[in-house]
Structure 1
Amino acid sequence: MAEEKTIARPYAKAAFEYAVEHEAIDNWATMLGFASEVAKDQQVVEFLTNADKTQLMADFFISVCGEQLDEHGQNFIRVMAENKRLGVLPSVCDEFLELQAEHLKQITVRVTSATELSKPQLQTLTEALEKRLARSVQLDCCVDSSLIAGMVITAGDLVIDSSVKGQLSKLSDTLKA
């Protein structure tokens, strides 16, 4: 997985830089999202794995995507096919979307709480996180009753564990030391 991300990153960065330069970020996100879904299809995976000729792979992939790819998107697919990298298109799409979120100063924050949060609580949490992270926040909430009370907030590498379960775990570790 890490190797796939390493392979995908330069493709995503090149596509993103092109999209920014031509003010077509949303269009590229849509094209890459569609191509990514095509690349995940089992029949397409089998064809791409067994195909020897890069031109054949590119033509096949472009024909499957149809009008979803503009001329520049088709060229992008051809370059990836020449380098035998069509299999990493889902990772390219993920990397592109991360670059897009960074560019737009957006972040998705995972909030796991012991009970369902009310609308005022969600609003207060969103405002506090936007202030702390200095970007627009989209909450992805779920409930995990094993936390007992409180919540765990995950935003990228940042993890804030204010759950009773987490505090009990820290206390246990402190007492053992």
Structure 2
Amino acid sequence: MADLITIARPYAKAAFEFAVEKNNIETWHKMLVLTSEVSQNEQIRSILTSDMKADSVANLLINICQDVLDEFSTNFIKIMSENKRLSLLPEVLTLFEQYCSEKEAQADVDVISAQALSNEQLDKISIAVEKRLSRKVKLKCHIDPSLISGFIIRTGDMVIDSSIRGRLTRLNDALQS
């Protein structure tokens, strides 16, 4: 199962990134749901894994699912067919849905500053972090006077330290090495 997911990942990622770029996630999701269901049909599955020409297999799936396919999703099906990967459509759908969930997820971000930040400053931080993480953020603000000046942003494994205390620590480490 893990091998199938690994093979399906580039297709799911490409489909998701394209759908996000075109602001068309819902349409792509519907297309993947239908093509995935069709590909799981016993008769269709045997055709997808047969030695038929890629064009013939792709055209079969395209004709069955033509109501939900546009030019781009048709090309996506053709590419998957050329690479003999149409049987992976259920895994592609699963990964696509995971990417959608991650995109909609909200990240909790700790902002530690030497003094209270203005709403304008918080808005700028929020916009910058949302852009970097590609998801909505919820800021949790804390005050730590020992920072002297500046702030530290923490979320998950990411830490951005632009405090004076952090800079002095890095300078001290550099001088001692």
- TM-score bracket, normalised by the shorter chain, equals 0.5 to 0.7
1:32 pairs with 2:32: yes
Partner of 1:4: 4
> Which structure would you say has the larger Rg?
2
| RMSD (CA atoms) | 1.6
AA of the residue aligned to 1:44: I
**Unmatched runs of 5 consecutive residues or more in structure 1:** 107-133, 136-177
AA of the residue aligned to 2:97: L
Q: How does 1:88-167 map to 2 (within 5 A)?
A: 88-105=88-105
CA distance in 2, matches of 1:102, 1:49: 32
Partner of 2:61: 61
AA of the residue aligned to 1:86: L
Partner of 1:84: 84
- Please state how far the C-alpha of 1:46 moved relative to its aligned partner: 1.2
Partner of 1:42: 42
Moved more, 24-33 or 46-55: 46-55
CA distance in 2, matches of 1:9, 1:105: 20
CA distance in 2, matches of 1:56, 1:95: 26
Moved more, 62-71 or 7-16: 62-71
- Please state how far the C-alpha of 1:52 moved relative to its aligned partner: 2.3
- TM-score, normalised to structure 1's length? 0.58
**Unmatched runs of 5 consecutive residues or more in structure 2:** 107-135, 138-177
CA distance in 2, matches of 1:20, 1:96: 11
CA distance in 2, matches of 1:51, 1:70: 26
CA distance in 1, matches of 2:49, 2:12: 22
Q: Secondary structure at the match of 1:66?
A: coil
Q: How does 1:12-27 map to 2 (within 5 A)?
A: 12-27=12-27
